Structure formats: C-alpha cells, structure tokens
Chain A
C-alpha cells in the first residue's frame, strides 16, 4: 500500500528552498548541501513550509460511532511518556475536525501503567476485551512490549507504537516508529567513533535491557577495532561527581563516552562533568532520551557543540510541512507537552495510523481490517524521518534505522550530523532489515 505521507523536497516550494539554501554553500565551499557533519542549525534557519493537512482535511466534523484505537503509556513520578499519547490525541482531534476516517471519528483510549507487569497485562486485556479497540497506536510503555507482545501476536492485534524496550522491536505485531533506547545508544556510539574516538566508554542505567545495550556497543567496538569499557549504573545516581570522573578516566585521551541515562539522571552527570572541568577530556554523547527541551535549558553554553545527542526524528525547529503541523497542533491541543522528541513521536504514530485507516475503503474497521491496513503501510514519507517508514511482514521491526545527531548551541538544539545509518552488527538485525528494505523497493 502506498500511503499519502508527504515527500520532503518534492513540492516546488520545497525545491526552491533547498536550492536557495544550498547555493551560498556551494559557492563558498564548493561542497554538497548535505554535509554529514556541519555543526550548523541549517534546518532551523530555513523558511517554514506550509503545514500538512490533518487526515482528509475537509473541515467537516466526523460523526457516528468512533473507531477505537488503544495505547498503554507509562506514567509514574519521574518516568512519564504521556507527551506521546497527548500529541497522538492532538492529531486525532484535528483529524476528527477534518472529516475523520471517511466520516467517522477516531478515538484513542489511553491507559496509564506504572512499573507493575500485572497492571500492564491487565490494561492490555481491558483495551482488547472491554474497550474493543481495533489496534494500538502511540503506546509508549516501559513494560508493555515485554509483557504483552505475545498476547498481541496471538490475538493478531497490531500496533504502531513508540517502542522503549528491545521487545518492541522484536515482535511481528508491533512496529515502532522510533529507534528505542538501545539502538539510539548504538547510534550515539557510532557518532563518537566517527568523531574520532579511539576508545568507547558506556554506562547504562540498570534496566532489563541494559546488558543488551552494552553488549551491542561492545560489538560495535570490536568491529571498529577500538576497546570498549561498559558497565551498568544503578539509578538514581548517588555520586554524579565520582561517576563523571570515572567515565573521563576510563575514556582517557581521545575517548568517547555514551552517557546512557534518562534526561534527568544524565543532566546530573553532565553538570558534574562541567563542574570538574572534564568536558574537553573526552567526547560525550547521549541517546535520544537526552533530546529534551528542559535538559537543553539547563545544560548551559559550556556544552555548546560538545555533546552529541541522537535524534529519532527531525529537529522541532525544522521547516518541513509535517513538523509545522506538529507545531500547530501542539500549540492548539497540547501546549503542556514538551517541545520535541516524544510529542513528535506521538504525532507521527497517529499520522501513520490515520493514513492506514483511510486506506480501508470497505468502512469495516475490525482488528482484522485495521491490522491488515497497519501491516500494509509502506513508503510512508515525512520530513520528520530520514527515509520512508514501513510496517513490514518481518518478525522484527526497526524501520526508523537512520537517524540524526543534534547538539546544543546558544540555547537551541542544532543538527550536528545529518541522517546516518545505524551500524549493522552480528548481534542486531540491521543487515537483514536493510536487505528486506531493498526487497520491498525502499533500499
């Protein structure tokens, strides 16, 4: 199925903008526009495009019984991903005000879980058996995939979600729209290697996937021929100063450190690094969890250009039509959500789901038809992504396997590196994924 997703740079205005943006650089540098390590906020300075439309975009209010989709989102003190579902709901509100799904409204039933597997399992049962949802969209739970993936597979109910745990990427029933913490850490390590790191250091917060993350980076180090020091760190961090010193010493001269913690804990470490004057002792990187606006505000100028953060989607300041729509909907429906990553992911999940639902022409929205529509999503294009997204028929999904790197600069996130592929390693499936992409014409 070919979706109605927007193709970046295909409209006339986008082409003109691209040429206009490239011309001075071509003249001055005689290099290509798509520099791989510019360190410039190229995206944020371009003129914004006209925003994409919501669903049918006909301005008519949807009526009739709602098509129910479900989401399970983690929401506990200190660990909340509700920005994902809030922005998904914002997009659905806009869709319902613009013709809905062929006239019918779509409703996202959101259940909030904590870190309790029994609760997570029961919420999935509630959504499927009681709420009678026809598919999952924008789920973003720490435990959902680990606990419920098999149930979803058995009941043939499919999800276009924001995956957190590795299990989300290894289920035939779930296709994450994001990269996830593990692969994001891998991409960060690759970025540090590309920046010239001669040794890699990684410390990961102690979660069920932490050892797998570290193993992945060790495999990357082996492939690149650089030594890797990896350990698991219990959170909350008790001694950030000691940890900062330990990491810098482990990295040594020309080493790169992946601080694989969530934004709040990582900030403690970055502050300790700054206070001890260790910023220039090593190259520092952080996975997508650090792509957080509040963290950016607290980092300070000392970190300008010194920290590489993996970005699962484009900058919130980027001028593309989908990002413009995201900004408009956030302002209108979800102003309390943080600007950036998680909100963009929720928006994207909802957008893909709506385009899949719109492809069902029979008017029959069941788990079977919606599942088939979800699975049929292929070649979804968006300015938020580096390359087309698809659901695919494989038992594992990481369609978003090409990401950007961003860095703080003058109080803004700016692009440090353009789209780069995740490294294929013996202990991940990127080689198979890319072979599959070639097979379906997306390679």
Chain B
C-alpha cells in the first residue's frame, strides 16, 4: 500500500468508496454529472469566437490530454488500479490512427472508433497482470510497458505514407498528420470536433460509473475480497476498466494525430505518464472535472506561463510542490475543492432565500 492509496482510501468520495452510496448519489443527481461536460462543450464551442488561433491549437491539445487523464481517472480514481502507461497508450492510439488513416479509405469517425477498439483490446492484455498485481508493482509494470512502447516506436517510427505494414518511408522526412474530416479541416472547426468527441468520451465514462460497472468498480476499489464475496466478477470488471480507459485514450491519440503538427516519438516519453498522474492528483483524481483541469494544467498552463514570459519548465517544480499541498490539505484536488465550495455557496444562497 502506498501513500497515494492511503490518501485515496481516506478521501475518495462516497460513491467511489461505497457502492450503496454510489447508488444514492446516482438517484439524487441523475443529470448533474452529464450536465457539466455538456456545459464545458458548449463553452468550448463558443470559445473560438473570443480567442486567437494560437489558443485554439493549445486548447485542442488540452482537450486531448483531458481524455488521457480521464482514462487514468477511471482506472485509479474508480477502480484503484494505477497505470503509468497512459501516455504510451496515447502514442499507440496515434500510431494506429495514422496507419489506418493512411489507407485513405476509412472516414475519420471510423478511424477514431477502430483506433479505440484496437487500443481497448490492447488494454485488456495490459489488464491481465492487474488481475494479480496492484499498487507499486502494477505501476512499475505499466511504466515498463510504456518504456517498451517508446523503444518500439523509436525503431518503427510513426507512419509517414511509406509502404508495408509499418507505413514508414525512411527517406521521407517530416511529420505527416492524420487527414482531418472534411467538416473540420480548419483549426477552429477541428477544435470544435475534438471537443465534441472528448465530451462523448466523458459521457461514456460517466455512463459506466453510474451503471453496473461503476458499482462493481467501487466495490473492487473498497475490497476485492468483499467484491468476490458479493458475487462480482472481479476479473471481468478489472479488464473492463482497462479496456475502457485504453479505448478512450486511443481515441484521444487519434485526435492528437490529426491536430496541428502530427506526431513524433519524442513527445511520448514514459515519464510523461508520471507528470500526468501528478497533474491529475492535483486537479482531482476522483472527479471527472479533474481530468479537464489536468488537461488544462498540462497543455494550457505552459502556454499561459510562456505568455507571461515565464519558462514552462517551472511547471515541474510547481507540480511537485502542488502535489504535496494537495495530498496534505486537499486530497480531492482542485475539482473536488471547487465542487465542495460551489455546493456550500449554493446551500448558503438557498438558506438566505428561505429566511428572507
């Protein structure tokens, strides 16, 4: 048991710790969880009207990384399975999408879906060790897997229109982005497309956590033995969680492949998964809104600091300090704190209204 797990058990929201609480939570607020991604999507769709092309590209990357963070949030925040291979899965998604897109026959939405299915299946394979391992050992195994993916990609490279199964032409240089759909050829249109797809991924995650899988995951998270005793198929639901997380991250990788710039092997170092975990813990591991905040922290914060003339590298220090602060004072992260503060404000306003 590591420090993060201790903190998690102590602070995870009720619906993550107690299956019955999750049911109650679901019954009380059937639409609230779905409302905020819809709100975020609506706001994001309007954003291009008020911001520059530069910020459109930055926010596109932030949206993609929020889905990668969402995958980790599902695995660790809901099931208690720590994975340090999410960035590698993003790379696998990007490679698969570029290779599928290179055929030129599949529509973009089908490339997204097929990529998700491929990475979802890979997720099941990755999930197999998770049936016997957890905590630090699982983290190490997924980190080694991420390193293996990096080594493989370093040798095979991302497809660039070359021949054969790998689709890589060694003589040709430059990055070749995945072709965008006709309705989202420009950066602004592609940002909107990305936001819509990302919102769908969030809704998919919410639908899972509010249904039978969510209750099973919460039970497994609390005690695997108790879950088995309660008749829950632990093997199935653990693999399901890995498949879902990798499906979503794969789709995010496909979106990244079509964003400005294309893909290179350099942008997916294994240690980036640790940064993702740190950002998500600070942003709020146990709230899906935390994944959005994590995406913004990873991609929009450096851009904001750059605008202020501060090096983005300082974020690694900020993340380190912030992580300590989060674990000590606010384990539910920024999203949890915001959610709590908003609830308190809402309650006070209600009280004031009734008394007046």
Are A and B genuine complex partners? yes
Instruction: List CB contacts (< 8 Å) of A147-174 with chain B.
Output: 147, 149, 165-167
Query: Are A143 and B173 in contact, CB atoms less than 8 angstroms apart?
Result: no
Besides A122-B303, A146-B173, 17 other CB < 8 A contacts?
A111-B306, A115-B266, A116-B266, A117-B264, A119-B61, A119-B261, A122-B57, A122-B58, A122-B260, A123-B54, A142-B266, A143-B261, A167-B174, A208-B264, A211-B171, A212-B170, A215-B170
Query: Are A129 and B170 in contact, CB atoms less than 8 angstroms apart?
Result: no
| In-complex Cβ contact of B173 among A116, A118, A122, A167 (8 A) | A167
- B68 located at the interface, meaning its Cβ lies under 8 Å from any Cβ of chain A in the complex: no
- Residues of chain A contacted by B261 (CB below 8 angstroms): 116-122, 143, 147
B60 closest partner in A (C-beta)? A118
- The verdict on A118 contacting B170 (CB below 8 Å), with A126-B54, A143-B264, A234-B154 known, is no
- Residues of chain A contacted by B303 (CB below 8 angstroms): 122
- B337 located at the interface, meaning its Cβ lies under 8 Å from any Cβ of chain A in the complex: no
- B267 located at the interface, meaning its Cβ lies under 8 Å from any Cβ of chain A in the complex: yes
- A206 located at the interface, meaning its Cβ lies under 8 Å from any Cβ of chain B in the complex: yes
Interface centre among B53, B173, B175, B302 (most CB of A within 10 A): B173
- A209 located at the interface, meaning its Cβ lies under 8 Å from any Cβ of chain B in the complex: yes
The 10 closest A-B CB pairs, nearest first, are A117-B261, A211-B170, A115-B266, A121-B260, A121-B261, A126-B54, A122-B57, A146-B174, A147-B261, A166-B173
- Residues of chain A contacted by B154 (CB below 8 angstroms): 206, 234
9 CB < 8 A contacts A-B: A115-B266, A117-B260, A118-B256, A121-B259, A121-B260, A122-B261, A125-B57, A129-B53, A165-B173
Query: Are A130 and B52 in contact, CB atoms less than 8 angstroms apart?
Result: yes
- The verdict on A116 contacting B267 (CB below 8 Å), with A121-B57, A122-B54, A122-B57 known, is yes
Interface centre among A118, A120, A129, A211 (most CB of B within 10 A): A118
Q: A111 vs B171: C-alpha distance in the bound complex, in angstroms? A: 29
Q: A215 vs B173: C-alpha distance in the bound complex, in angstroms? A: 13
Instruction: List CB contacts (< 8 Å) of B5-52 with chain A.
Output: 52
Query: Are B53 and A125 in contact, CB atoms less than 8 angstroms apart?
Result: yes
| In-complex Cβ contact of B52 among A129, A149, A209 (8 A) | A129
Q: How far is the CB of B151 from chain A (nearest CB, A)?
A: 8
Interface centre among A149, A212, A215 (most CB of B within 10 A): A212
Q: A272 vs B167: C-alpha distance in the bound complex, in angstroms? A: 37
Bitwise, A241-265 to B at CB < 8 A (1) or not (0) is: 0000000000000000000000000
- The verdict on A118 contacting B57 (CB below 8 Å), with A208-B157, A211-B170, A211-B171 known, is yes
Q: A166 vs B169: C-alpha distance in the bound complex, in angstroms? A: 14
- B213 located at the interface, meaning its Cβ lies under 8 Å from any Cβ of chain A in the complex: no
Q: Which residues of B contact A (CB under 8 A)?
A: 52-54, 57-58, 60-61, 151, 154-155, 157, 170-171, 173-175, 187, 256, 259-264, 266-267, 299, 302-303, 306, 311
Q: A130 vs B52: C-alpha distance in the bound complex, in angstroms? A: 7
Q: A387 vs B157: C-alpha distance in the bound complex, in angstroms? A: 38
Query: Are B262 and A117 in contact, CB atoms less than 8 angstroms apart?
Result: yes
B168 closest partner in A (C-beta)? A211
Query: Are B175 and A147 in contact, CB atoms less than 8 angstroms apart?
Result: yes
- Residues of chain A contacted by B61 (CB below 8 angstroms): 118-119, 122
- Residues of chain B contacted by A120 (CB below 8 angstroms): 261
Q: Which residues of A contact B (CB under 8 A)?
A: 111-112, 115-123, 125-126, 129-130, 142-143, 145-147, 149, 165-167, 206, 208-209, 211-212, 215, 234, 427
- The verdict on A208 contacting B173 (CB below 8 Å), with A120-B261, A121-B261, A143-B261 known, is yes
Q: A122 vs B262: C-alpha distance in the bound complex, in angstroms? A: 12
Interface centre among A123, A125, A165, A167 (most CB of B within 10 A): A125
- Residues of chain B contacted by A212 (CB below 8 angstroms): 170-171, 173
Q: How far is the CB of A180 from chain B (nearest CB, A)?
A: 11
Q: How far is the CB of B136 from chain A (nearest CB, A)?
A: 26
- Residues of chain A contacted by B306 (CB below 8 angstroms): 111-112
- Residues of chain A contacted by B264 (CB below 8 angstroms): 115, 117, 143, 208
Q: A211 vs B160: C-alpha distance in the bound complex, in angstroms? A: 14
- The verdict on A117 contacting B174 (CB below 8 Å), with A122-B58, A208-B157, A234-B154 known, is no
B57 closest partner in A (C-beta)? A122
A147 closest partner in B (C-beta)? B261
A79 closest partner in B (C-beta)? B266
Q: A115 vs B157: C-alpha distance in the bound complex, in angstroms? A: 15
Query: Are B175 and A117 in contact, CB atoms less than 8 angstroms apart?
Result: yes
Q: A142 vs B187: C-alpha distance in the bound complex, in angstroms? A: 23
B151 closest partner in A (C-beta)? A234
A182 closest partner in B (C-beta)? B173
- Residues of chain A contacted by B267 (CB below 8 angstroms): 115-118
- Residues of chain B contacted by A166 (CB below 8 angstroms): 173
B267 closest partner in A (C-beta)? A116
- Residues of chain A contacted by B263 (CB below 8 angstroms): 117
Interface centre among A149, A211, A234 (most CB of B within 10 A): A211
- The verdict on A130 contacting B54 (CB below 8 Å), with A116-B267, A118-B61, A121-B261 known, is yes
Q: A120 vs B173: C-alpha distance in the bound complex, in angstroms? A: 16
Q: How far is the CB of A130 from chain B (nearest CB, A)?
A: 5
| In-complex Cβ contact of B174 among A130, A208, A234 (8 A) | A208
- Residues of chain A contacted by B58 (CB below 8 angstroms): 122
- Residues of chain B contacted by A209 (CB below 8 angstroms): 173
Query: Are B174 and A118 in contact, CB atoms less than 8 angstroms apart?
Result: no
Q: How far is the CB of B155 from chain A (nearest CB, A)?
A: 8
- Residues of chain A contacted by B157 (CB below 8 angstroms): 208
Interface centre among A117, A126, A167 (most CB of B within 10 A): A117
Query: Are B171 and A215 in contact, CB atoms less than 8 angstroms apart?
Result: yes
- Residues of chain B contacted by A123 (CB below 8 angstroms): 54
Q: How far is the CB of A36 from chain B (nearest CB, A)?
A: 32
Q: How far is the CB of A204 from chain B (nearest CB, A)?
A: 11
- Residues of chain B contacted by A112 (CB below 8 angstroms): 306, 311
- Residues of chain B contacted by A211 (CB below 8 angstroms): 170-171
Q: A9 vs B302: C-alpha distance in the bound complex, in angstroms? A: 49
A208 closest partner in B (C-beta)? B173
A146 closest partner in B (C-beta)? B174
Q: A118 vs B302: C-alpha distance in the bound complex, in angstroms? A: 13
- Residues of chain A contacted by B170 (CB below 8 angstroms): 211-212, 215
Q: A212 vs B157: C-alpha distance in the bound complex, in angstroms? A: 14
Interface centre among A115, A165, A427 (most CB of B within 10 A): A115
- Residues of chain B contacted by A122 (CB below 8 angstroms): 54, 57-58, 61, 260-261, 303
B169 closest partner in A (C-beta)? A211
- Residues of chain A contacted by B266 (CB below 8 angstroms): 115-116, 142
- Residues of chain A contacted by B262 (CB below 8 angstroms): 117, 146-147
B177 closest partner in A (C-beta)? A117
